[in-house]
Amino acid sequence: MSITMGEPRSAMLSLDADGLRRHAALLRPDTAGRLVTSLSAAAMIAGLIGSLAYLGFSFTAIFVGLQRIGGIVAWMLPPDPQTWDNTRFYFHALGETLGIAFMGTLGAALFAFPLSFLAARNIVPNLIVHILTRRMFDTIRGVDALIWALIWINVVGLGPFAGVLALVTSDFGALGKLFSEAIETADAKPVEGVTSCGGGTFAGVRFGVIPQLLPVVLGQLLYFFESNVRSAAVLGIVGAGGIGLPLSEMIRTDEWQQVSFIIIMMLVTVSVIDLISSRLRLSIIGPAPV
């Protein structure tokens, strides 16, 4: 600091004026920028109001609906499965949900892992193969697991197995894309090392790429398992097994105490799974790499 206590005030003021002059550009109000910001904000809000109006929102509809929601919440309390049989049935359905999620995740990984090497440019330099596999992953990924569930129900019939296959297909696309990206960003030096010691392409992949890949893959699988538990919970709504089926039935038959019981079961399960998998992820990947 050039200004000390002893110096006269005017020096400080002149320094201020000097600073103001030198940084005038920073201090000038950015009219154009503000105009763009406020115009785009106005356009977005107008879009919101327009779409709400188009979709049939009205104050009466919201008011009436909220009143009914209030009634439903009141009916939900206290959560109560009513009979012991129901409780057993719900726990079985919950187990089914976890089974669907686990099998779906692992099955998708088993299919996606080998194919993702085809889609990685540093392993298979052929541009046509690369584009075709990437497009295939994107197309499969673009279709929601619920839609796949409907399709698989047409093929293998109603039941949890259709749910497993739906998760396998939709995650196959997503995991394939993620895995191939992970392969492409892998460090090339270990592969060069293996090759310089006389290893072939396969040895290069096995000892150069896969050790780098595995922690990433396992971490992503855990994330996918978590999200699949949530997806598997709704697959039952279209008839593909799991807790979604009793849940949607109870909602449709106005058994609100059972609905809230099932929702609480789901919440507890999901948070327990999240807890376990974040522990596992830490132990696999270790503390965050610097």
Partner 1 sequence: MSASAPPNRLTTAIGTLVSYDSDLREKRRKTIFGCIIVAILFVLSGWIAEAQPDVLIDKAGAFFNYIGDILHLDSGDLVFEAPGEWFWGLRRWLLSLGETLLMAYAGTFLGTFAAFALCFFATDNFCVSRLGKFCTLRFLEFARTVPDLVFALIFVIAFGLGPIPGVLAIAIHTMGALGKLFAEVVENIDPKPVEGIAAAGGSRLAQIRYGALPQVLSNFVSYALLRFEVNVRSAAVLGFVGAGGIGFTLLIAIRKFYNSDVSAILLMIIVTVMLIDYGTEKVRHRLIGREKHA
By the criterion CB under 8 A, which residues form the site for partner 1? 44, 47-48, 51-52, 54-57, 61-62, 64-66, 68-69, 72, 95-96, 98-100, 102-103, 106, 138-139, 142-144, 146-147, 150-152, 154-156, 159-161, 163-165, 230-231, 233-234, 237-238, 241, 244, 247-248, 251-252, 254, 259, 263, 266-267, 270-271
Question: Dihedral, CA atoms, 265, 269, 270, 271, nearest 10 degrees?
Answer: 110
d(CA 24, CA 171): 54
Q: CA distances (Å), 226 to each of 79, 220, 221, 223, 272, in order?
A: 25, 10, 9, 5, 10
Provide, rounded to whole angstroms, the least separation between the CB of residue 159 and partner 1: 6
17 or 272: whose CB is closer to partner 1? 272
Least distance in angstroms from the C-beta of 143 to partner 1: 6
Backbone angles phi, psi at 124, to 5 degrees: -115, 100
b/e string for 197-216 if b means 16 or more Cβ within 10 A?
eebeeeebbeebbbebbeeb
**Please, what is the minimum distance in Å from the beta carbon of residue 124 to partner 1?**
23
Smallest distance, partner 1 to C-beta of residue 42, A: 13
DSSP letters for 211-275: HHHHHHHHHHHHHHHHHHHHHHHHHGGGTSSSTHHHHHHHHHTT-HHHHHHHHHHHHHHHHHHHH
Residue 6 CB, nearest distance to partner 1 (Å)?
25
Q: Please say which residue, 123 or 152, places its beta carbon nearer to partner 1.
A: 152
Q: Shortest gap between Cβ of 174 and partner 1 (angstroms)?
A: 11
Reduced to 3 states (helix: H, G, I; strand: E, B; else coil), residue 28 is coil
Q: Which two tokens stand for residue 263?
A: 């929702």
In this complex, which beta carbon is closest to partner 1, that of residue 203 or of residue 270? 270
| Least distance CB 160 / partner 1 (angstroms) | 4
> What is the 8-class DSSP label of residue 9?
H
* CA pair distance 136, 155, nearest whole angstrom: 21
Q: Which residue has the tokens 């789901």?
A: 266
Identify which of residues 157 and 200 has a Cβ nearer to partner 1 in the complex. Answer: 157
Nearer to partner 1, 139 or 185 (CB): 139
Beta-carbon contacts of residue 9 (< 8 Å; ≥ 6 apart): none
- When the beta carbons of 123 and 175 are compared against partner 1, the nearer one is 175
What is the closest distance, in whole angstroms, from the C-beta atom of residue 12 to partner 1 in the complex?
A: 18
Those residues whose C-beta lies under 8 Å from the C-beta of residue 148, and which sit 6 or more positions away, are 165, 166, 167, 169, 170
Q: Which CB atom, from 86 or from 161, has the smaller least distance to partner 1?
A: 161
